[in-house]
Chain A
Amino acid sequence: MSSVAVELPPNYANEEHTIGSWLLTRDHKRIALLFFASITVFFFVGGFAATLMRLHLATPQGLLQPSVYNRMFTMHGVVMVWFFLIPSIPTTLGNFFIPMMIGAHDLAFPRINLASWYVFNLSGLVLLYALVMGGVDTGWTFYTPFSTLYSNSYVFAAAMAVFINGFSSIMTGLNFVVTIHRLRAPGMTWVRLPLFVWGIYSVSLVMLTATPVLAMDTVLLAVERFIGVGLFDPRRGGDPLLWQHMFWFYSHPAVYIMILPAMGVVSELIACYARRPIFGYAGMTIAMMSIAILSFFVWAHHMFVAGISIYSAVVFSLMTYFVAVPSAIKVFNWTVSLHKGRIIFDAPMIYALGFVLLFTIGGLTGLMLATLAIDVDVHATYFVIAHFHYIMVGATVSAFFGGLHYWWPKMTGRFYPEMWARFAAILTFVGFNLTFFPQFILGYLGMPRRSYTYPPEWQAWNVLSSAGASILAVAYLLPLFYLGWSLVWGRRAGPNPWGATGLEWTTSSPPPKENFERTPVVKLGPYSYDPERGSYITQDGVRHA
């Protein structure tokens, strides 16, 4: 093709080329790419552990030593939760596009943004130290008193890694909250914010209010681990469940930290590729904010069988049902948003539709888990594993990849290869379901999580799951190659290749260092698509045919 290797116009990425200009940058777009590099590394570290686990579980005897397997699932959990899923969408897509979508020239505190990346990498190094020295075998939940008094592994270092990581979360969340409050362009009222901005805003609030409690929890864990005396020690009248209370006070909202930005991304994708306004914008924003708040009322549903008061369990179960309502509203709104659209099945849309389906399955099984009596049976079995992977991996990672493809032309100025991308999107959906659906059945059969072996009669389902995992691995690896390829040979993209309405599409691709030549003035809300005429109006008020 003639478009090969066309030089890009001056932009944020090619303006300066020194290493220092990247490592000391204050530009949110460059920091987003730095984060992207870091979390990609961790995604493949965590994915490597997952691959080994699924290989191991293909046979009841397995191929790893029990101690190695225990370290693998712990590493998989810790890396994936804190070093990939929680930072994934906020620090990359959020960092890159939040200022652009609200018409700002940068985040409020660029230095803190850069510091967040350094702190993130520091915590990553501490974690890698723990892994290299011999790993951690407690599971990502670090339940006491096993983690504090019994485990012979590097719990202290891992807890410190999680603690330091929290600073990065807080810095990023703080930056987004303040930016969205203070730096919106003229005319960008709250009801004109794209839903992705609402998603990031709500998730930032959750990061800010949940993370400190986990931080204190890990400090107490580290103290008990370090000196052998602590607040969770049952021999001294301490309550081991206190760790769980404070841990889940963070870690349940953490699930919403993963899913809320994904919901935002998917709302953008569905509106753009269905070529119509999102159905029930107000309902969507209210749903996101109420999920953010309700997420703090449900944590003890992880502890229904842990020995908490049964009355307390009833309260938490009821709360969990309530949090399902806004999620149900969102699924309904996304589905109805397809009605009378002009649906284009490009790769981001396939990811988005996959997201809705996987999220629905994950949500409905979550509903089953919220039912107290069912939870007693399937708690800590593969049913739970399957459920939260549907939400945290199936849904979130689909949205992440969907958003990445959607904004790829804006970030790089080049198109990704559409056919390859569609193939990867479909493969992700198929591979994912093949991996995790059998685990629902295994769970109800009673296979406990974190077991390196299982009775032979369960092998068929495990083999199926491992087969799916290999497909999933290919689906996740593919984009690395074709997106990398497109950086050099991809077709040049114009400012608004998809005909989308957000402010980020009103500037050049890739954007200049200061995002906009001059601060845009916002005239109307997002998603002014007209499926009847096929026209759309960008948020600065310009109509396009």
Chain B
Amino acid sequence: MKRAAGRDPALLFVVAWLVLVLLTGISIWTAFLGLGVFAPAVQFGIAATQAAILFILFMRLKGPPSLKWVFAGSGFFWLLFLYGLSFTDYATRQGWPHR
């Protein structure tokens, strides 16, 4: 490799960008399909995929294992605590939702 270490060629980023745009298109398309309760799952799944592309390529997580991975992931991991443990309340609380 002639390029400076740890960098990817511009072409890769352009392709990744095209994929991102394509995924956005799909996401918008699904909104009109009437998927009901599955729509948010699909749309947020696509958003998560796009975020992964951004994190791994554009934010250069690609490469050997590093501490960056831990911190990149720990925010999402910690959110699971908030979402998961709150769920124990909201899923079983009497009288929620109010009204």
Contact = CB atoms under 8 A, between A and B. Distances in A.
B82 to A, nearest CB: 6
Given A209-B74, A213-B82, A296-B81, A308 B98 contact: no
B76 to A, nearest CB: 11
A297 B83 CA distance: 11
Most buried by B among A213, A296, A309: A309
Nearest to B99: A237
Contacts of A213: 82
Contacts of B95: 307
B82 A249 contact: yes
Given A309-B93, A311-B92, A234 B98 contact: yes
A311 B85 contact: no
Most buried by B among A209, A234, A316: A209
B96 interface: yes
B85 A297 contact: yes
Contact of A308 (B75, B78, B93, B99): B93
Contacts of B74: 209
B88 A312 contact: yes
A422 interface: no
A207 to B, nearest CB: 12
A239 interface: yes
Given A209-B78, A234-B98, A308-B93, A315 B88 contact: yes
A22 B89 CA distance: 50
A316 B85 contact: yes
A245 interface: yes
B67 interface: yes
A296 B88 contact: no
A312 B99 contact: no
Contacts of B96: 239
Given A209-B78, A213-B82, A296-B81, A181 B88 contact: no
Nearest to B67: A181
Contact of B89 (A181, A234, A238, A312): A312
A300 interface: yes
A312 B98 contact: no
Interface in A168-200: 181
B78 to A, nearest CB: 5
Interface in B55-99: 67, 74-75, 78, 81-82, 85-86, 88-99
A292 to B, nearest CB: 11
A316 B88 CA distance: 9
Interface in B4-26: none
B98 A309 contact: no
Contacts of B75: 209
Contacts of A296: 78, 81
Nearest to B70: A181
B40 to A, nearest CB: 19
Contacts of A246: 82
B91 to A, nearest CB: 8
B99 to A, nearest CB: 5
A315 B85 contact: yes
A245 B78 contact: no
B92 A245 contact: no
A312 B97 contact: no
Nearest to B82: A249
A311 B88 CA distance: 7
Interface string A197-239: 0000000000001000100000000000000000000100111
A241 B86 CA distance: 11
A315 B67 CA distance: 32
B90 to A, nearest CB: 8
Nearest to A212: B75
Contacts of A309: 88-94
B81 A239 contact: no
B97 A245 contact: no
B82 A300 contact: no
A195 B85 CA distance: 31
Interface in A305-350: 307-309, 311-312, 315-316
Given A296-B81, A316-B85, A237 B94 contact: no
Nearest to A238: B98
A246 to B, nearest CB: 8
A315 to B, nearest CB: 5
B89 A308 contact: yes
25 contacts: A181-B67, A209-B75, A209-B78, A237-B98, A239-B97, A239-B98, A246-B82, A249-B81, A249-B82, A296-B78, A296-B81, A297-B81, A300-B85, A300-B89, A307-B93, A308-B89, A308-B93, A309-B91, A309-B93, A309-B94, A312-B88, A312-B89, A312-B92, A315-B85, A315-B88
Given A238-B98, A309-B89, 4 more contacts: A209-B78, A246-B82, A311-B88, A312-B89
